[in-house]
């Protein structure tokens, strides 16, 4: 990414029981438009395959097409390009919303950055 400014990245969580199939589907569909760098992470006592996909940026629409495809095959995407915290943060689904409710029940801090119903 330092040598090619047209590249960007995502953060992705793959399923342990089918990550090889998920990788193959992404490579079949996007080829060299998406490069996958994997890390194995222990979370809650379980090992999970995670990736920092490096993506050739063509447009916002194309980036979100790639994101939606990954999600459609069961790859969880954490979007580092959004200003909405619960769309980009890593961790348990809903955890930011719960923390926000507990610590800011009236929604006064950073309004609009965490989306939930009051």
Cα 27 from Cα 20, distance rounded (Å): 11
Residue 44 has a pLDDT of: 82
Could you report the per-residue pLDDT of 8-61, keeping only the tens digit for each? Answer: 999 999 999 999 999 999 999 999 999 998 999 887 888 999 999 999 999 999
Taken in order of first residue, the domains within the chain and their CATH numbers are 7-81 (3.30.70.260), 85-118 (no CATH)
Q: Please report, rounded to a whole number, the percentage of residues in the chain having pLDDT higher than 90.
A: 52
Considering the entire predicted model, what is its pTM?
0.69
Across 56-60, 83-87, 103-107, the highest mean pLDDT is recorded for: 56-60
Give yes or no for a contact between 63 and 79, defined as CB atoms under 8 angstroms apart: no
DSSP designation for 45: T
């Amino acid at each position: 990414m330092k040598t090619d400014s047209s590249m960007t990245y995502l953060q992705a969580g793959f399923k342990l029981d089918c990550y090889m199939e998920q990788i193959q589907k992404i490579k079949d569909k996007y080829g060299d438009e998406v490069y996958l760098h994997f890390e194995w992470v222990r979370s809650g006592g379980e090992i999970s395959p995670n990736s920092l996909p490096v993506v050739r940026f063509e447009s916002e629409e194309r980036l979100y097409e790639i994101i939606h495809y990954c999600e459609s095959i069961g790859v969880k995407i954490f979007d580092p390009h959004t200003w909405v915290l619960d769309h980009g943060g890593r961790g348990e689904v809903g955890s930011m919303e719960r923390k926000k409710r507990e610590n800011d029940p009236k929604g006064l801090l950073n309004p609009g950055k965490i989306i939930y119903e009051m």
